[in-house]
Structures are given as C-alpha cells and as structure tokens.
Amino acid sequence: MQFPEQLIDGYRAFLAGQLRHEQDRYRELAESGQSPNIMVIGCCDSRVSPEVIFNARPGELFVLRNVANIVPPYTPDGRAHGVSAALEYGVGALKVKHIVVLGHAQCGGVKAFAEDAEPLLPGDFIGNWMKLMAPAADRVGPRGALSEAEYLMRLEQANIVNSLDNLVTFPSVHRLVERGQVAFHGAYFGVATGKLSVRDDATGKFVQIAADDYSQMFAQPRF
C-alpha cells in the first residue's frame, strides 16, 4: 500500500507555504534546540489540533495528545508511562512555564465513558484508560434532569479539571507550582462553534476568551 497521496499533497503545500516562510526558523531550531514556554496536553481527536487553534509557529508549543486529554495520577510503579514521561520532559528538560489541559466538545472518549460502551477490541485499552475519568464523573454527579448534551459538556469540562488535579500529584511538578515557576490552565474548545473557553480559577467556571473578537467576526456580512 502506497504512502497516502493526501499527505504528499499536504507536504507539497508545506514546502511552498510554511517552509518557504519559516526556513530560517527551522534551521535555528535545529541548531539551538527547542525551548517552548507552553506545554499543551490535548486530545488526539483529529478536529482539535493545538497548533491550529493557537496559530502556533514551529517550536512554540510542546504538545502531548492522547484519548480524552487525560493526565493520570502519579504512579511510580516501574512501568512505561507515556504521559508521565512527556510531562517529566516538559518541566524538567524544557522548563515550560505553563501547562494547558485542552479539552473539547463532542469528545468520543468522554461519550464512550458516559455510555459505558462495549469494548472496541479484546483487551480494551480504551476502556481501561477511560476508567481514569471516574473522579470527573463523581464530580459531575448523577445525570438527573440534564439533557445528554449538557451532561456530556459538564463531564468533558470536569475531565479537564481532573487532569489538572492529577498534575499536582507529581512531586516535581508540585514543587515548581509552589515556587511559582509553573502555572496550570484548563481550556475547552467548541468543535462546531470554534469558541474557546478558559477555566477561571476563582469561580471554577469556563469563560469564553476573545468573545468580542468572536462576535465581531460573525457580525460581519458574508459575500
């Protein structure tokens, strides 16, 4: 089976566009190494690319993506832990100053957890992974009179908060937070709307950012 033609076409566009304009930056990054100030922990959903959402240039974001943007709690059991390794590298080697947990609407992983879906494959890696979301579900509480859409949104946002809580369980990260060297942020992206909300630490609510810019953009007539 041949390499996907879509990727070849995309690379050609990259050569003619971004690489042409960013060639010097790529060379500089190759020689001096990367030094991003921000780490983004996001979902591997193809609709939610942090580099696209934040219009980031090469070398500006250290990005980790997994199913449902989950940060597991600190578990030093001698096994391989991809998220923990990336987090350790981000704060230890790259010295990032900000860690953003980026969740999103219509998250398939969150929906599968809420529906207690059947395993996709024997072994059920996804199911076992999603069990880490249980504290988020406890935070939201029973579904009650909530619509499915409202419940899923609350669970998606509670899952972001759960990941933020788990970040503090890592001793090295906790020390940096106490010293004021690292800050955490929760963000929530609306796939259908393009709205971005950030968690207010004081109220715990997710508040839309750049709301005026968003409103003005859609207030302009389209031709």
- If asked whether residues 27 and 135 sit together in one domain, one would say no
User: For residue range 174-209, what is the model confidence (pLDDT) as tens digits?
Assistant: 999 999 999 999 999 999 999 999 999 999 999 999
Residue 223, pLDDT above cutoff 70: no
The Cα 22–Cα 18 span in angstroms is: 6
- Contacts of 127-134 with C-beta under 8 Å, sequence gap 24+, read 129/66, 129/67, 129/68, 129/70, 130/67, 130/68, 130/70, 132/70, 132/72, 132/73, 132/162, 133/68, 133/70, 133/109, 133/159, 133/162
- If asked whether residues 48 and 77 sit together in one domain, one would say yes
3-state secondary structure of 92: helix
Contact 162, 121 (CB under 8 A): no
The Cα 43–Cα 70 span in angstroms is: 8
Domain extent at residue 123: 34-219
User: For residue range 47-87, what is the model confidence (pLDDT) as tens digits?
Assistant: 999 999 999 999 999 999 999 999 999 999 999 999 999 99
pTM reported for the whole predicted model:
0.94
Number of domains observed in the structure of the chain: 2
- If asked whether residues 21 and 80 sit together in one domain, one would say no
The Cα 126–Cα 33 span in angstroms is: 34
Q: Which amino acid is at 77?
A: D
**CATH number, domain at 150?**
3.40.1050.10
pLDDT of residue 220: 67
Virtual CA dihedral for 214, 110, 121, 73, nearest 10 degrees? 110
- If asked whether residues 95 and 115 sit together in one domain, one would say yes
Cα-flanking dihedrals φ and ψ of residue 212, to 5°? -65, -45
- If asked whether residues 129 and 142 sit together in one domain, one would say yes
- If asked whether residues 3 and 113 sit together in one domain, one would say no
User: For residue range 88-143, what is the model confidence (pLDDT) as tens digits?
Assistant: 999 999 999 999 999 999 999 999 999 887 877 777 888 889 999 999 999 999 98
- If asked whether residues 212 and 134 sit together in one domain, one would say yes
> 65 has which bridge partners?
42
